[in-house]
Chain A
Amino acid sequence: MAIELEHYLILGALLFSIGLYMALAKRNFVGVLMGIEMMFNAVNLTFIAFSRFPRFADMTDAERLSGHVFVIFVITVAAAEAAVALALAMLVYRNRETIDVDRMDLLKW
């Protein structure tokens, strides 16, 4: 059996669920961020898999490349997000001496 689209989709789903669990369950700010990065990568993987196995045989190259271009945008936004989030983590740590998201509760009553 050759490697088909399903294989890549299942791999992406696995990676996404692990990232989702990580982002939801971790108490560490950086841990949450790592989960989000993993989800981004799962999505990228799926994008490229779909562009490698196009739905219609008559798709032009430019249409197929849209998937790749999207991946570049996702990576860009992921990098920007990581930089800002980590700067926030530093700031929170400096003010509160913790990066535990459950203890960032100043606005909670």
Chain B
Amino acid sequence: MIADNPWLDGLVRMGIIALAMPLAVIILTYVERKISGRMQQRLGPMRVGPYGLFQGLADTIKLLTKEDLRPQTADRWTFELAPFVVVVPVFLAFVTLPFTADLFVRNLGLGLFFIIAVSGVSIVGFVMAGWGSDNKYALLGGARAAAQLISYEIPLVLAVVAVAMIAYTPEAGRGSLNLVEIVDGQGRVPFIVWQPLAFFIFLVAGLAELYRQPFDIPVAESEVVGGPFIEYSGIRWSMFQMAEFVSMVLISVLAALLFLGGWNWPLGNGAGIALQIPLILVKTSFFILLFIWLRFSLPRLRIDQMMQFCWQVLLPFALLQIIINGWVLVYGWPDWTLGVSSGALTLVAGYLTYRAARQAAEEPVSPRLHRVGSVL
């Protein structure tokens, strides 16, 4: 408890998050540019400060002082409110995201469910931006964003459900949606061992929710030139950018908590906060670096491939994972059956994807783009 009044306490904690996140975004932009430079055999930003360390700061000042333009034909309120509708849900999700055993704003019983539900609201913002800009590329991007984000939310939720099913608490037995309880249940073995399939589904679907490469179909520069953000500039554009990076942090922390044992594994529950914070930081950074690495390694998917992968691979396998978890829990089979079955399914899913990709590479089929209404 930071302050005596619970309202004040919550506000102070939320304020800390609201201050820390833009800072993290500035650092992450710098890190991403540096890594991309390395991967493309350049130096990356070098001008501002030693090794370009202050580049992010300079960019922030530039973005904040840049003129905030609005197309004359744009729909005023929809256009101007869209960045807020994207940013606010992402920050709201942090209300219940625990960083360590007692470093959170509020510990909600349904925390995991809350995070998933609230972060889904930001899709509305993309559609608003796409429609409100009165620009055909923005509209295309908005429609693509709506299609992609809604589709990939389903495997994401199912993968999370699989983990919530096997989370174990001594008081209530199996099953929990409370993130603190879920982490406490993985003191010795993180859930990635029991649920590798759910982990991979979560990772891929999370990457798609972040609309980063190879899933950057809604904002693809070479197809829809920035998608919903095409008409934005200055502070409103930087809000979209911030939302993207903050949700990257959100997904990474969530992956660390759900699958890598958060602050718990491998040090156990007793480790002090001085050890817990570095632990969660390392795990989160691992996922963030993985996302950045993937961004500069994989080519962009085609929209029909993206949809097929979601509905024909991720979704059936996520359902299979849940069914198997149900069997194991109902019949009380030992824990290792979970890991073995899930691992085998992961291999099957990987092989199917690999075969499809090989087939596509050997005999390129012309994409069958059905005319979906008039926009896509």
List CB contacts (< 8 Å) of B351-376 with chain A: 373
Shortest Cβ distance from B372 into chain A, in angstroms? 9
List CB contacts (< 8 Å) of B53-106 with chain A: none
**What number of B residues sit within 8 Å (CB to CB) of A?**
1
Shortest Cβ distance from B210 into chain A, in angstroms? 26
Chain B's closest residue to A94 (CB) is: B373
Chain A hits for B373, CB < 8 A: 90, 93-94
Chain B hits for A93, CB < 8 A: 373
**What number of A residues sit within 8 Å (CB to CB) of B?**
3
Complex alpha-carbon distance, A94 and B373, angstroms? 7
Chain B hits for A94, CB < 8 A: 373
Shortest Cβ distance from B340 into chain A, in angstroms? 35
Residues 83-99 of chain A, each 1 if its beta carbon lies under 8 Å from chain B, else 0: 00000001001100000
Complex alpha-carbon distance, A93 and B375, angstroms? 13
Residues 58-100 of chain A, each 1 if its beta carbon lies under 8 Å from chain B, else 0: 0000000000000000000000000000000010011000000
Chain B hits for A90, CB < 8 A: 373
Chain B's closest residue to A93 (CB) is: B373
Complex alpha-carbon distance, A90 and B373, angstroms? 7
Shortest Cβ distance from B66 into chain A, in angstroms? 37
Complex alpha-carbon distance, A99 and B176, angstroms? 45
Complex alpha-carbon distance, A46 and B373, angstroms? 38
The 3 closest A-B pairs by CB, nearest first: A90-B373, A94-B373, A93-B373
A residues contacting B by CB (< 8 A) are 90, 93-94
B residues contacting A by CB (< 8 A) are 373
3 A-B contacts (beta carbon < 8 Å): A90-B373, A93-B373, A94-B373
